[in-house]
A and B are shown apart, each in its own frame.
Chain A
Amino acid sequence: MASTATVHQTKWWSGGKSPFNLEYGKLMMWYFLMSDAFTFGAFLISYGTVRFSQNFWPDPNVVFNAFPGAGHANLPLAFVSVMTFILIISSVTMVLAVHAGHNNDKKGVVKWLFWTIIGGLAFLSCQAWEWTHLLTGEHAALVNGHIELLPQTTSINPWGPLVDHSVAIDALKNSTPQVIARLVHEHDASHSLPHLLSLPKEELLGMVNTAELHVRQTGPVAFGGYFFGITGFHGFHVFSGVIINIIMLIMTQKDVFARRGHYLMIEKAGLYWHFVDLVWVFVFLCFYLI
């Protein structure tokens, strides 16, 4: 009995065999990704803790309902699903690049890496648009009895509970003419904003479409910090992944891997890229779906 155990052990540890049948670099990439998973996990869990400690949390379908070029149309989840599919597809092209590397197919590696980079850049562009939209938005919020037009930033959250209609009408009367002019302009573009700004407050009040007036209280401030912090950290991973993929593309073009005789470096870059997709799956879940 004891001898069989020894035989089994020497089989794996006496040299000549690789216990994990993996090269060192790839194994270390796995362990790096595992530690990175804990970093992202800690961020998302702390977001969860703060969210669970609040009586109210904004509904993601209300916050993320814009689409480029669609104006004020209410399209919940539409844009983020585009971003999600971009990352899934770029993950697939990366799998194909790694597979082409297995077959020492330089042309295939170049082609699929190129599409992966395009996918990564497309995702980053989408994120840039979304951030800009949130940071420059103007949402009617009730502040100290009057209405203010607030963006979503790390210190302001305009997505609190909806204010009762009568309270909103009272708050409207206390608001500045500039705010009222913008509220009129939002639903009725037939007057130019400079023209509206020149009108007296009483006339502007009569022009506001009160049936369409949705005013919210300000919401939990932590929302912005977590959203921009975590999607920013993920976006930084996408960005560095794109840089790594570009370096891989240049090295492939210069025949570095062909001379080395293997394309294992593409596999490591591929692991990193898939991890970025994996993290997005969870960011998508935590910020946009639930």
Chain B
Amino acid sequence: MEQQLMSPEMTFQHHTDDAEFKRRVRKTTILLSVITIFELAIGLTIYTIHKGENPSHLLVLMFKGMVCILTLAKAYYIVSVFMHLGDEIRNMIMTIVVPLMLFIWFITAFLIDGNSYKNLRNKYDSHFRESTSVEHKPAAKE
């Protein structure tokens, strides 16, 4: 079908050929589904590790890290392909992506802050430590 120049604010039209577009959408859909299934499998693995005797916290942490990486991959494909950010001009992409870098500090700083608060309370607030710690059973702990 005929594609026209859509707006005076656009200098040129992104070329999207129908067959190529269909192939990309199908590929991305399959990719997102497969990643989600992988994530679910890891989630169930974490569940079985928790249920067992003496769950290995390192192993659980490793699996959780894997899920985080898979989620970032999903986010990349949604933004880049479905939202077509990957097809935009580089300068435009940068005005979106560079401010998002703030999240690196944001996440790191606040998780460390939460962790430090926990350590301080465990050290100085014995009621908190005794009432919330679970040493006597292999229950979940994060």
Residues of A bordering B, CB below 8 Å = 16-24, 27, 30-31, 34, 37-38, 41-42, 45-46, 48-62, 76-77, 81, 84-85, 88, 91-92, 94-96, 99, 102-105, 161-162, 164, 261-262, 264, 270-271, 274-275, 277-278, 281-282, 284-285, 288-290
- List B contacts of A162 (CB < 8 A): 137, 139
- List B contacts of A52 (CB < 8 A): 111, 113-115, 117-118, 142
- In chain B between 52 and 83, which residues have their CB closer than 8 angstroms to a CB of chain A? 64, 67-68, 71, 74-75, 78-79, 82-83
The docked-state distance in angstroms from the alpha carbon of A28 to that of B79 is 16
Is B19 close to A, CB under 8 A?
Answer: no
- List B contacts of A271 (CB < 8 A): 83
6 example contacts (A-B, Cβ-Cβ < 8 A) are as follows A48-B114, A55-B133, A77-B47, A281-B71, A289-B46, A290-B68
Are B9 and A85 touching (Cβ within 8 A)?
Answer: no
Are A274 and B43 touching (Cβ within 8 A)?
Answer: no
- How many chain B residues touch A (Cβ–Cβ < 8 Å)? 69
> B1-20 vs A: 1/0 string, CB under 8 Å?
11110110111100010100
Greatest chain A CB density within 10 A among B2, B71, B133 is at B71
For chains A and B in complex, what number of residue pairs have CB atoms within 8 angstroms? Answer: 193
The docked-state distance in angstroms from the alpha carbon of A56 to that of B129 is 10
Greatest chain A CB density within 10 A among B25, B40, B79, B102 is at B40
> B99-118 vs A: 1/0 string, CB under 8 Å?
11011001100110111011
Minimal Cβ-Cβ distance residue in B for A17: B11
Minimal Cβ-Cβ distance residue in B for A35: B99
Given contacts A54-B118, A88-B36, A277-B78, contact A261 B139 (CB under 8 A): no
- List A contacts of B88 (CB < 8 A): 20-22
- List B contacts of A285 (CB < 8 A): 39, 67-68, 71
Are A49 and B110 touching (Cβ within 8 A)?
Answer: yes
- List B contacts of A22 (CB < 8 A): 9-10, 88-89, 92
The docked-state distance in angstroms from the alpha carbon of A46 to that of B111 is 8
Other-chain residue from A23, A37, A45, A281 in contact with B78 (beta carbon distance below 8 A): A281
Are A104 and B43 touching (Cβ within 8 A)?
Answer: no
Given contacts A48-B111, A95-B25, contact A41 B10 (CB under 8 A): no
Other-chain residue from A50, A58, A277, A289 in contact with B42 (beta carbon distance below 8 A): A289
- List A contacts of B7 (CB < 8 A): 23, 262, 264
- List B contacts of A290 (CB < 8 A): 46, 64, 67-68, 142
Q: Please list the 8 inter-chain residue pairs (A to B) with the smallest Cβ-Cβ separation, ordered nearest first.
A: A52-B114, A49-B114, A59-B140, A61-B47, A262-B6, A20-B92, A103-B1, A23-B9
- List A contacts of B3 (CB < 8 A): 102-104
